[in-house]
């Protein structure tokens, strides 16, 4: 039963049901239920940042309410307790019990983790969730993090991002050459091979870097988050689509010992709250992006443009090479990547005749 509880929200709920039916197996759960827990959750985001930072706050509030305060979680913005990109290590070591971050920030230490956030030209958010919750993805995710004493839970997704803000027009491949752009993960490697210089910066440092000219371009998320950083005041051209992050999933990570210390009902609440936050964040981004895009569209100082077809075609070819090499060089990436692309092939065939076909019909 223990193993099944780790598999996900639904499985965790099943575990609790089984326990209720078999009280003899439940040990001292009655005694455990009186115990209270105070956890810290470190994040990679500016405190209470729209979407990304609201997600862990929502998680903490829901868990506290659903457990009548038996599990209280204090959320810290990136840099408040640990730097934004050290969430993985801090939770792995047990410095704190919980973190909220994006798996591709662990690139270098754990390259295969990138499949659980976003792959350039890869899965959309609904395809990724299909894979994680029902297609075997979450089991691979848990297996990958096990040696680091971490239990991961998908928790939120930004949806399809924007291609980013540029201080010059991108009319051809040549315009990418020499371009210094904030773009993390595999997308950054794709840009490098296209002749650009990728830079990884935490969100909070992007505006100043773009405004001062330290970088020529940046991707961040989409209208909702980009407008809240004021990126439209630092660059003129706003390109789409976000080929580099077509539906990046975010994660809650829990230290293994902390997880094991929770009674099964609190584990179930955490697991279910993570799924609830995923659903809530999708709604928040759907609404926030629509509102912010409407405002940006009225701003005469910026232009919203689609990347030229030949630029996207080249980036797609390079992205394929980059991911193929990653899988050739790293056994864990090969195993997870094979599962990812097998699922993408099936999901994509379905998306083509549903979302894509429908939106083409409605919006042209």
245 binds Ca ion (CB under 5 A): yes
Q: From residue 293, how far is each of 125, 191, 224, 232, 273 by CA, in Å? A: 20, 26, 7, 11, 29
Burial class of residue 228 (count of CB atoms within 10 Å of its CB; 0-12, 13-18, 19+): middle
Q: From residue 120, how far is each of 124, 185, 206, 323 by CA, in Å? A: 10, 9, 21, 9
Count of residues binding Ca ion (CB under 5 A)?
3
Cβ atoms of 84 and 73 within 8 Å: the answer is no
Stretch that binds Ca ion, among 69-77, 87-95, 140-148, 159-167 (CB under 5 A): 159-167
Measured from the CB atom, the residue of 158 and 271 that comes closer to Ca ion is 158
CB of 48 to Ca ion, least distance (A): 19
Query: What whole-number distance in Å separates Cα of residue 51 and Cα of residue 282?
Result: 9
Query: What whole-number distance in Å separates Cα of residue 222 and Cα of residue 336?
Result: 28
SS3 state of residue 101: strand
CB of 269 to Ca ion, least distance (A): 30
Spatial strand order of the sheet with 37-43 comes to 71-76, 37-43, 98-101, 249-255, 150-157
Point out the residue whose Cβ comes nearest to Ca ion: 245
Stretch that binds Ca ion, among 95-103, 245-253, 284-292, 310-318 (CB under 5 A): 245-253
- Kindly state the tokens that stand for 102: 């994006």
5 binds Ca ion (CB under 5 A): no
Measured from the CB atom, the residue of 114 and 161 that comes closer to Ca ion is 161
Measured from the CB atom, the residue of 8 and 163 that comes closer to Ca ion is 163
Give the contact letters, 167-206, x = binds to Ca ion (CB under 5 A), - = no. Answer: ----------------------------------------
Query: What whole-number distance in Å separates Cα of residue 156 and Cα of residue 141?
Result: 15
226 binds Ca ion (CB under 5 A): no
Measured from the CB atom, the residue of 88 and 243 that comes closer to Ca ion is 243
Measured from the CB atom, the residue of 16 and 160 that comes closer to Ca ion is 160
CB of 16 to Ca ion, least distance (A): 36
Give the residues lining the site for Ca ion (CB under 5 A): 161, 219, 245
């Amino acid at each position: 039963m223990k193993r099944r509880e780790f598999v996900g929200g639904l499985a965790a709920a099943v575990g609790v049901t089984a326990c209720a039916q078999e009280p003899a197996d439940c040990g001292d759960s009655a005694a455990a239920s009186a115990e209270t827990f105070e956890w810290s959750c470190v994040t990679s985001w500016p405190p209470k940042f729209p979407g990304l930072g609201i997600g862990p706050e929502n998680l903490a509030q829901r868990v506290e309410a659903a457990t009548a305060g038996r599990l209280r979680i204090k959320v810290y913005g990136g840099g408040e307790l640990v730097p934004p990109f050290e969430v993985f290590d801090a939770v792995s070591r047990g410095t704190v019990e919980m973190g909220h971050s994006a798996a591709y920030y662990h690139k270098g230490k754990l390259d295969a983790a990138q499949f659980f956030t976003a792959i350039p030209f890869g899965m959309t958010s609904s395809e990724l969730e299909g894979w994680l919750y029902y297609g075997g993805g979450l089991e691979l995710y848990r297996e990958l993090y096990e040696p680091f004493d971490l239990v991961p839970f998908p928790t939120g997704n930004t949806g399809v991002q924007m291609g980013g803000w540029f201080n010059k027009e991108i009319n051809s491949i040549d315009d990418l050459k020499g371009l210094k752009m904030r773009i993390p993960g595999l997308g950054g490697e794709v840009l490098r091979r296209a002749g650009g210089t990728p830079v990884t910066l935490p969100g909070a440092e992007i505006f100043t870097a773009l405004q001062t000219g330290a970088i020529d371009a940046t991707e961040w998320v989409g209208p909702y988050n980009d407008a809240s950083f004021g990126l439209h005041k630092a660059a003129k051209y706003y390109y789409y689509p976000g080929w580099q992050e077509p539906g990046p999933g975010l994660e809650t990570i829990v230290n293994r010992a902390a997880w094991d210390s929770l009674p099964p009902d609190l584990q179930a609440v955490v697991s279910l709250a993570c799924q609830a936050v995923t659903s809530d964040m999708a709604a928040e981004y759907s609404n926030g992006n629509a509102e912010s895009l409407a405002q940006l569209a009225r701003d005469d100082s910026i232009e919203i443009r689609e990347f030229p077809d030949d630029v996207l075609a080249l980036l797609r070819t390079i992205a394929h090479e980059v991911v193929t090499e990653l899988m050739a060089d790293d056994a864990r990436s090969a195993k997870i990547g094979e599962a990812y692309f097998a699922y993408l092939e099936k999901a994509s065939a379905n998306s083509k005749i549903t979302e894509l076909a429908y939106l083409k019909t409605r919006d042209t």
